[in-house]
């Protein structure tokens, strides 16, 4: 059984986080983007035996929460780690006054859409040509 611990994202975590980011997304975030998010203090990593296997973060404005990024290393997917990490992020966001969480996901990312639906998110809209290359984003949300 996997034993996972959750910690705030630290500067020395970025190399491992960027490796997962590049394995997970067509348009990966840059080191600078993660450094900017670290200033908000709402970004977390999931570790197993000291190795980062996933990460996620959010931003909050008043009572609206934006899930800005969430990824699990491909070798650790479908083991409940994403659900565990997202659950913790939702708990923290709720404690910080969040009432509703939003996210954007590529229309063709059916695995992610299915994952978020299982976590209680519903499709609430579309952002036309949101991603580079003109791909639409599905907007999903859930009440916290």
The 10s digit of each residue's pLDDT in 101-121 is 999 999 999 999 999 999 999
Give me 142's structure tokens.
């859930």
Name the residue among 112, 102, 104, 106 with its Cα closest to residue 134.
Answer: 106
What average pLDDT does the structure give for the chain?
Answer: 93
Average pLDDT over residues 26-34: 92
pLDDT in tens, 53-76: 999 999 999 999 999 999 999 999
Average pLDDT over residues 3-8: 91
pLDDT score recorded for residue 76: 95
Q: How many CB atoms lie within 10 A of CB 128?
A: 8
Name the residue among 80, 68, 144, 61 with its Cα closest to residue 105.
Answer: 68
Say whether pLDDT at 37 is over 90.
no
Burial of 116 (C-beta count, 10 Å sphere; 0-12/13-18/19+):
buried
Contacts of 63 (CB under 8 A, 6+ apart): 97, 98, 99, 100
pLDDT score recorded for residue 45: 96
Percent above pLDDT 90 for the chain? 88
pLDDT score recorded for residue 1: 52
Percent above pLDDT 70 for the chain? 99
Q: How many CA atoms lie within 13 A of 63 on its CB side?
A: 6
Q: How confident is residue 27, by pLDDT bands cut at 50, 70 and 90?
A: confident
Against a cut of 0.75, is the pTM above it?
A: yes
pLDDT score recorded for residue 20: 98
């Amino acid at each position: 059984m996997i034993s996972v611990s959750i910690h705030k994202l630290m500067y020395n975590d970025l190399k491992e986080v960027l490796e997962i980011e590049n394995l997970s997304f067509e348009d990966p975030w840059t080191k600078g983007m993660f450094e900017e998010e670290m200033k908000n203090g709402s970004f977390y990593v999931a570790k197993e035996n000291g190795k980062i296997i996933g990460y996620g973060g959010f931003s909050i404005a008043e009572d609206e929460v934006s899930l800005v990024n969430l990824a699990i290393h491909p070798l650790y997917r479908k083991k409940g780690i994403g659900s565990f990490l997202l659950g913790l992020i939702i708990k923290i966001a709720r404690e910080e006054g969040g009432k509703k969480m939003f996210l954007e996901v590529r229309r063709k990312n059916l695995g992610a859409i299915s994952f978020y639906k299982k976590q209680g998110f519903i499709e609430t809209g579309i952002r036309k040509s949101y991603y580079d290359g003109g791909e639409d984003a599905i907007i999903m949300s859930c009440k916290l």
